[in-house]
Amino acid sequence: MAAADQPRSGSQAVERAIHLLNCFEGDDPELSISELAHLAGIPVSTAHRLAQALVRGRLLEQDQATDRYRVGHGLATLAAPALTRLGIDAAAPHLYALAAGIRITTSLSVVDAKEAVTMLQARPPVHFCAHQLPRLRQPLRSSASGRALLAHLPAAPHLATELDLVRRKGFAVEEFDGVDDPVRSIAVPVFGADKQVWGALSVQARSARLNDELVREILPAMRQIAVRIGGVVQNSSAPGIFTA
C-alpha cells in the first residue's frame, strides 16, 4: 500500500469503530459479534477485530461467559466531563426527586436533527414497569417530548396549529398502543437561562394509570422541576435547531 493511502485507511478504521460503538445506542445492552457485524454492515471478521481493539481501549467490555459485548467503563469515564459541562449531572438529582415524588420514570431529552434523544432517565424506587421507558430516540413530530421541543423551535408551517396548542397548554401529550396496553406520554419544555428551549422533561406510563386525573396532579411538579433543571443546564448544550 502506498504511503499516501495509509491515512485514508486509518481514517476508515476509526469511522468503522465509531459506527460500531453507535450500534449500542439502541435498546439492546449486549450484542453478539454477528449482531454487531449485521448492525454495522461489515464482515464478522472486521467487526471482531474492531471490537477487540475497543475492548483493549476499555470502550467496550466482553462477557466472558457469553462472549457478548457491551459498553465499557472507559466510555462512561470519557463521557463524564461532557455531562458535567452540559449540566446533565446537575440535573440528575432534580430528575430523581421528581421520579420518587410522582412514582413514574422521568426522562430528559434534547433535539438531535429530527429526533428527540433521551439524555438521562430516572427510575422511581417503587411502581416501576417497562411501560415507563420510552425509546431512546423518538421522532420530533410524533412524540410528546418532540412536540414539546418543536413548539418552541422553528418548524414547518403545516405544524403551526398543532404546536400552537402545545404552547398554549404548556405540555404535549402522545398516546400509542403498547404491546399489551395503550401507553401515554406527557412532556413539558425545559428552558435554559437564555430563555431558549433546551430540552423536554417527560413521563410515560400505561394510559390506564396516566389518566387525566393523574396528569393534572403531576403537571405542576413536572413544571417546577423543569424550571429547576433549566437553571443548571448550560446554554452551550442547547439542542440543534430543527429544520423541516
CATH 3.30.450.40 segments of the chain: 87-237
- Summarize pLDDT for 39-78 with one digit per residue, the tens: 999 999 999 999 999 999 999 999 999 999 998 888 878 8
Q: Is the pLDDT of residue 237 over 80?
A: no
Q: How many helices (H) and strands (E) in the chain? A: 8, 8
On the question of pLDDT at 144 being above 90, the answer is: yes
Judge whether residue 239 has pLDDT over 60. Answer: no
> In CATH, which superfamily holds the domain spanning 87-237?
GAF domain (3.30.450.40)
SS3 string, 49-60, reads HHHHHHHHCCCE
How does DSSP classify residue 240?
A: P
**Grid cell listed for 179:** 404491546
Domain 3-75: CATH architecture, name and number where available: Orthogonal Bundle (1.10)
**What is the Cα–Cα distance from 112 to 109, expressed in whole angstroms?**
9
The whole-angstrom separation of Cα 70 and Cα 20 is 11
Query: Looking at residue 128, what is its pLDDT?
Result: 77
Distance of CA 172 to the CA centre of its chain: 17
Strand-strand pairing, 172-177 and 69-71 = unpaired
Parts of the chain belonging to CATH 1.10.10.10: 3-75
Convert the pLDDT of each residue in 146-198 to its tens digit.
999 999 987 666 677 888 899 999 999 998 775 567 889 999 999 998 889 99
